[in-house]
Amino acid sequence: MLAFFQYNTMAWNVDDLYKFMKFLINKNQAGGINSQQFFYAWNSEQRSYMEDLLGRFQNRGNQKTGSNTGLIDTQTILQKLSPFTQNFPLVISGGDAVKPYDFIYTLAIRAYGTKYAKSFPITKDQIWVVEDDVIDPPSVSGDSFFHTEYQDFFRFLPSSTSIAVLDYVGYPQDVVWAYTVNVYAYGRYQYNAAASVQPQWDDNTIIEITKRTLRTLGVHFKDNEFEQFGTSVIPTGD
């Protein structure tokens, strides 16, 4: 168990990841792995982890009826995804709206007629059925909205929809360990926090992604090595 996170209030940053990589590589004499390889693998694993989370979220409806497991799992996933959830005003032209550049997954869309109301997702095959619905047709004045999701854009019904807000999950940024060369210390690399890109996940997820990365790179480790590093190196900065 990674118990140290329960009492260590210091969050892991990209420099901690770099130091931990060196800590394990030196301990395991795995000298063939450099920082560029490590962070390339780490960024690949964080994207894979994101895909796993979204897959579980999409399959949440398959949980057994009457079980709290699905609810708990959904809450956990949404909590993990919270750093990547965005609220984005869509620019609609002729009923179409381009997706944000970092878009991965739609959480909800609300469109505006007389008030903000949920826009219901429909497939391409359902468009004509919705258009011909005489009981509840698409209507701006009636706050009755529908949308179809394509690869790069959304298409709204009615096509006169002009205002909508998208809640979505965006891609995680690639972490970057930036450095400057210290000419006064024999050309050593010195961590540059201002130019670095920090991990956006919570601490426990950073640990999980780091474990996956180390396994991919073939670096052996034990759980207590994370605790040892977290309680000694992160608080002191050594």
> What's the pLDDT band for 72 if we cut at 50, 70, 90?
low
> What's the pLDDT band for 7 if we cut at 50, 70, 90?
very low
pLDDT, greater one: 178 or 59: 178
Check whether 131 has a pLDDT greater than 80.
yes
Strand 188-191 and strand 179-182: pairing? antiparallel
CA distance 160 to 141: 10
pTM: 0.81
**Residue pair 147/122 in contact by the 8 Å Cβ criterion:** yes
What pLDDT does 48 receive? Answer: 96
Average pLDDT over residues 33-62: 90
What pLDDT does 26 receive? Answer: 75
Strand 145-149 and strand 188-191: pairing? unpaired
**Residue pair 166/104 in contact by the 8 Å Cβ criterion:** no
What pLDDT does 231 receive? Answer: 58
82-86, 133-137, 159-163: which has the minimum mean pLDDT? 133-137
- Tokens found for residue 10: 């210091």
